[in-house]
A and B are shown apart, each in its own frame.
Chain A
Amino acid sequence: MTEGDIREEILDILESIAPDEDLTQIDDGVNFRDQLELDSMDFLDIVMELRKRHRIQIPEDDYVQLASMKSTVTFLEPLMKDIERV
């Protein structure tokens, strides 16, 4: 997956987690929490969804890396670059 694919995948997961939010306006450099109504359960669900879809394990200490779209994609890139896009 390219960084663009990973971004799409994250958007898809966010869509299922926060169906009421407008995700078209997301600013990649700004923390999710500051632009979406996300709480710690939502972040846990993002991690679970990544595990379920791609078998990626994210240790609890690394959850902070998922703060914004930009940091998330940067963090996931080495973990997901060898995954085929479906």
Chain B
Amino acid sequence: MPKDFLKHAKDEYDVVVIGSGLGGLTAANMLARSGYRVLLLEQHYKLGGMATWFKRPGGHIFDISLHGFPYGMLKSCRRYWTQEIADSIVQLKNIRFDNPMFSLTTTFNRHDFTKLLTDKFNVAAEAVEGFFDKARKMDFQDDQQLTTRQLFDEFFPGREDVIRLLMEPITYANGSTLEDPAISYGIVFSNFMSKGVFTFQGGTDRLIQLMEAEINRSGVDVGIRCDVKKINCDGGRVRSVEVGGRKIKTRAVVSNANLKHTILNLVGEEYFDRQFVEEARAVRLNNSSTQVYMALKPDERIEESTGDLLFSSTAPTFRTESLLSRDITSRTYSFYYPRTRPAGRPRSLIVSSTNANYADWASLSEREYEASKQDLIETTLDALDKYVPNVRARIDHIEASTPRTFEHYTQHVAGASFGTKFEGLQVSFDIPKQIEGLYHAGSVGIIMSGWLGAMNYGRMVASDVDNLLAAAPAHATTKAVT
């Protein structure tokens, strides 16, 4: 008989959180700390969502989405998690670019970028300062007409090389393009520029392990392998969720699942205004990814000068379409040195990532799919040889993932890596106005995605849920809110 992962779940909660991505985990933790009875349900057997890792024979541990995040993570981890988690956040100091327009290494912060732009790219200091200030002041309530392309044209007209330096890393970080609203660029870019790029020492596995311990301390009930099939609503309010053949009553639901999946499938369009459903349908998903994971033989080391993150491209100029194309010309490499996991066995790994269109992979037959994956692996090794000489001979393990892989593990529609385009934010915000007690907290709108965005959004939504539950007369069974 299959194990009952819901054995310890009660019949009723104040809040059910669907999905244990960083947004779901953070919302669950904050609400439990406020004294609510919280149940966290995750369909996969591991917590973390896209903040995940996998192990391979030989002591190799691969991180999927630990390429870098802004310094703001430290503050959020300290406040919404623990000091121990915050203390493990360390800077990645060698960020490299290599493309036909320029090759350079930077610490990826405002100070160094200003120096690069004025000295190496010969841009006037006032233009650089004006640009940084404008980007930093951006807020998500601002004007959304201005596109990122227009923002660049205002300060750096005709400078495709400058645009590439400023844009390429952000496109990798969250799939945003020159055609997206400038604020979605400005907010994320400024977050990084404040202090540079950071990572989590000990790897994603250690982070999620520490978070799991913390949600246990906070009193969250957790069910893994618990695929929520339905969110039941009635009379304009959330009532219960259906999972593992059980119906669990709840006063509020926070869905960390994909935005469209939440509205159209888990709840069902008949529970929303027609206009709202139209808007939800019209939300564009962000692109997906491919990755190639490579582990060097145990005694092989990568030169530190290779960098931590390398944005490489052979394309003559920067174009959104070419970044997404199956005909790959641009790759971002993350180099993991033994210092990534100081407590583990010393290993050197490389993950190559590209942005990708789901459609390019979805319709392939099994045979074509395998061939396409193999081609991805071979072409990646060819390209990487320039930076890690003789890489083929030094490798112990190699494999690839595609948009289909991401879809399989997270149930994100079309394997979306970074949630939705900007308009998804408003739809996500508006859900509780449609159904009382229903909330969404997960990667949306570009700015609420990435580790930091998802975590902060989880925290914001927890505050809204708390507001609702604290205002409504508490059930007799509800614990005192402290």
Contacts and interface: CB of A to CB of B under 8 A. Distances in A.
B459 interface: yes
Contact of B466 (A39, A40, A41, A51): A51
Interface in B421-473: 456, 459-460, 463, 466-467, 470-471
Contact of A41 (B76, B139, B470, B482): B76
A48 B470 contact: no
Q: Is the interface of A mostly helix, strand, loop or mixed?
A: helix
Contacts of A51: 466-467, 470
A52 B31 CA distance: 11
A85 interface: no
Interface string A21-63: 0000000000000000001110011011001100101000000
A44 B79 contact: no
Contacts of A47: 463
B369 to A, nearest CB: 42
Contacts of B76: 41
B460 A44 contact: yes
A60 B75 CA distance: 22
B449 to A, nearest CB: 15
Nearest to A48: B463
B29 to A, nearest CB: 13
16 contacts: A39-B72, A41-B75, A41-B76, A41-B460, A44-B459, A45-B79, A47-B463, A48-B463, A48-B466, A51-B467, A51-B470, A52-B34, A52-B482, A55-B470, A57-B467, A57-B471
Contact of B456 (A41, A52, A57): A41
Nearest to B141: A40
A63 to B, nearest CB: 11
B69 to A, nearest CB: 14
Interface of A: 17, 39-41, 44-45, 47-48, 51-52, 55, 57
Given A41-B75, A52-B34, A57-B467, 10 more contacts: A39-B72, A41-B76, A41-B459, A41-B460, A44-B459, A44-B460, A44-B463, A48-B463, A51-B466, A57-B471
A2 B27 CA distance: 34
A44 B30 CA distance: 13
Interface of B: 34, 72, 75-76, 79, 139, 456, 459-460, 463, 466-467, 470-471, 482
A66 B482 CA distance: 23
A45 B78 CA distance: 12
B135 to A, nearest CB: 14
Contacts of A40: 139
Contacts, number: 25
- The 7 A-B residue pairs with the shortest CB-CB distance, nearest first, are A48-B463, A41-B456, A44-B463, A44-B460, A45-B79, A52-B34, A57-B467
Contacts of A45: 79
A51 B79 CA distance: 16
B470 A57 contact: yes
A44 B457 CA distance: 11
A16 B34 CA distance: 17
Contacts of B467: 51, 57
B138 to A, nearest CB: 12
Contacts of A17: 79
Contacts of B482: 52
A51 B467 CA distance: 9
Contacts of A55: 470
Nearest to B33: A52
B3 to A, nearest CB: 37
Q: Which of A40, A44, A48, A55 has the most CB of B within 10 A?
A: A48
A84 to B, nearest CB: 17
A67 B327 CA distance: 51
Contacts of B460: 41, 44
Q: Which of B75, B466, B470, B482 has the most CB of A within 10 A?
A: B75
A79 to B, nearest CB: 15
